[in-house]
Amino acid sequence: MPAPDLPPPPTHTITQRPLHVHLHPQLTTPDDFAGGVVIVIDALRASVTMTAAIAHGATCVIPTLSVEDALAARDALAAASHTPILLGGERGGVRIEGFDLDNSPLAYTPQRVRDRVVVFTTTNGTAALLHARHAASILVGSFANLDAMTDAVAHDPRPVHILCAGTRDLISEDDILPAGAMVERLIGMGRQLVADDSGRLAAHAWRGALATPGGVVEAMRQSRGGRNLANIGLGADVDYCATPNTLGVVPVFDLASGRITRR
C-alpha cells in the first residue's frame, strides 16, 4: 500500500481513444470497465478456441463459470431448442469428464462445430469474460485474430481495455505477449496509453520476444501456460495459438443473452 499522506498523483488524463492494459483480473474491478470496450485475452487457449468455434460456423459459444453452470445451460437449451449442443472446456488443461470437446482449438473444426451451440467453461478465460460484465462491449482476442481485433477497435471513441486472464491467481506471459502486440499496433493507429505502465511492459515483452532466438513461438512455449501444456503433451496447441492471424474474426460476448457470436 502507498503511504497514507501522499499528495494526489500528477494529472495524466488521456481523453482521446485511451488504451488500458490489465495484467490480471484481480488487479481490476468490474466497474473499471464501465462504458469501455474490453478485449479479453486467454491466449493459451480459451480465446483461440472460442474464436475457432465462431470462425468455423458454431451458432454461438456460451461461456460459463463452472462445470455445474455448463451442465445447467446445456439442459436448459436442450429443453428449449432443437439446435445441437456441444459441451466444451477443460480443468487442469484436459477435457472435463462427460464433455464432448476439450479446450484445444484444433478440435473445433467446421465438421465438429458448424451449426451447433458450444457451451464452454475453462479455468481462466470464461471467468475473465464474466469479470468484464460492466463493459459496454466485450470482445475475445488473441494472436489468432490480432489484425482483425486491432482494426475493430482502433478508432472506437470509447476507452479500450485489454484484460489478460492470467493462470489461476498469477500473471501469465502467454497473455502479455499478444497484449503487447495489440498495444504496438493500436499505438501505431493513434490510440494513447494511459499513465499505468502495464501497457508499456506488455509492449516491451512483445518486442523482446520478437528479438530472441525462436521468436514469439518459443517465448510462448517457455511461458507458464506453455510449459503447463507441454507437460501434458499439448505443445502443438501452443504453436497454433502463437501464430498470428489464423482466424480473421472478432467474437463478441453479449452479456444479456450470455452468448458469444461473430461481430
List beta partners, residue 87. 119
Would you call 67 helix, strand, or coil by DSSP? helix
Confidence of residue 82 (pLDDT cuts 50, 70, 90): confident
- In the block, residue with C-alpha cell 465438429: 112
Residue type, 75: D
**Any idea what DSSP says for residue 46?**
H
Confidence of residue 205 (pLDDT cuts 50, 70, 90): very high
Give pLDDT, residue 128.
95
Please give the domain boundaries of the chain with CATH numbers for all domains: 18-248 (3.90.1560.10)
Give pLDDT, residue 4.
64
Residue type, 226: G
pLDDT at residue 10 greater than cutoff 60: no
Say how far apart CA 64 and CA 260 lie, in whole Å.
11
Residue type, 65: L
Least confident of 41-45, 82-86, 113-117, 231-235: 82-86
- The per-residue pLDDT of the chain, averaged, comes to 94
Give pLDDT, residue 80.
87
Give pLDDT, residue 153.
98
Mean local confidence (pLDDT), 234-241? 97
The three-state (H, E, C) secondary structure of 76-129, written as one string? HHHHHCCCCEEEEEEECCEECCCCCECCCHHHCCHHHHCCCEEEEECCCHHHHH
Would you call 263 helix, strand, or coil by DSSP? coil
Mean local confidence (pLDDT), 189-216? 96
Give pLDDT, residue 225.
94
Predicted TM-score (pTM) of the model is 0.94
Mean local confidence (pLDDT), 227-241? 96
Per DSSP (E only), the strands in 7-92 are: 18-22, 37-41, 60-63, 85-91
Give pLDDT, residue 7.
62
Mean local confidence (pLDDT), 130-141? 97
Q: How many CB atoms lie within 10 A of CB 61?
A: 29
Find out whether 177 and 206 touch, Cβ atoms under 8 Å: yes
Query: For the purposes of burial, counting CB atoms within 10 Å of the CB of 168, is it exposed (0-12), middle (13-18) or buried (19 or more)?
Result: exposed
